């Protein structure tokens, strides 16, 4: 079974979705994350083991490669698609309670900003690491973050921005959330922000890449 887990993890790492997928070229014609995940379940593997020993392992490798500029956005998106294909087989086990989420992460691009590639990458990689992700989309106002956080009291919030002009809205959202929910942890990310800005607006964590967010969630989520 361990070999099957390794094969699934490799499919996640290299973006092999299913047997008919031609990407990556060196895995053409091989079974992908879709078939191998189903096979593992058929062979009696628990959904929890598939998640922790295959999907999370594969996504961690992708995250580290992305941080080190060894892979780029297109490759990460293919890995995320392979992970999502595996998750289709596992999601019924989340619903039944056989798999427990490691925590809940609420994410959105802040008010005034419609960019979502970075947010989507973070969402997919966080989900692949076993967290429930509530994606609020783009142009999200403070009220929507507060509403979602109130409904999910043990969640952690992630704010994304790509435009320098929306950094002020990020600060406004952090201030509003902290007023309403003073103990709630807030992460920020995006091209124009940095650690100094994180400290200035009283956010709890800044990461320049998705892997940093995942590492923070692993330490912080209850």
Task: Report pLDDT digits (tens) over 51-96.
Answer: 999 999 999 999 999 999 999 989 999 999 999 999 999 989 888 8
177, 197: one domain: yes
143, 175: one domain: yes
What are the tens digits of pLDDT across the range 144-188? Answer: 999 999 999 999 999 999 999 999 999 999 999 999 999 999 999
pLDDT above 70 for 218: yes
137, 46: one domain: no
Helices (H), 46-194: 47-50, 56-67, 73-96, 117-128, 142-151, 167-180
88, 113: one domain: no
92, 108: one domain: no
What local confidence, expressed as pLDDT, does residue 222 receive? 57
Read off the pTM.
0.88
90, 115: one domain: no
Show which of 96, 129, 162 is a domain's final residue.
96
Segments forming the whole domain that contains residue 20: 2-96
Contacts of 198 (CB under 8 A, 6+ apart): 188, 204, 205, 206
213, 110: one domain: yes
């Amino acid at each position: 079974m361990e070999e099957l887990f390794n094969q699934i993890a490799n499919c996640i790492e290299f973006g092999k979705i299913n047997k008919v997928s031609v990407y990556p070229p060196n895995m053409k014609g091989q079974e992908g994350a879709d078939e191998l995940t189903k096979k593992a379940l058929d062979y009696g593997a628990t959904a929890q083991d598939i998640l922790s020993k295959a999907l999370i392992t594969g996504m961690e490798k992708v995250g580290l490669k992305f941080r080190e500029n060894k892979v780029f956005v297109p490759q990460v998106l293919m890995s995320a698609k392979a992970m999502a294909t595996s998750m289709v087989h596992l999601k019924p086990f989340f619903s039944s309670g056989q798999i427990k989420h490691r925590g809940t992460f609420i994410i959105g691009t802040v008010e005034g900003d419609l960019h979502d590639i970075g947010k989507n990458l973070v969402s997919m990689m966080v989900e692949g690491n076993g967290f429930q992700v509530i994606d609020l989309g783009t142009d999200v106002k403070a009220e929507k973050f507060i509403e979602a956080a109130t409904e999910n009291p043990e969640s952690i919030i992630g704010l994304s921005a790509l435009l320098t002009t929306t950094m002020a809205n990020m600060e406004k959202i952090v201030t509003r959330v902290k007023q309403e929910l003073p103990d709630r942890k807030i992460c920020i990310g995006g091209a124009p922000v940095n650690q100094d800005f994180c400290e200035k607006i009283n956010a709890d964590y800044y990461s320049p890449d998705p892997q940093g967010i995942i590492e923070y969630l692993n330490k912080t989520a209850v």
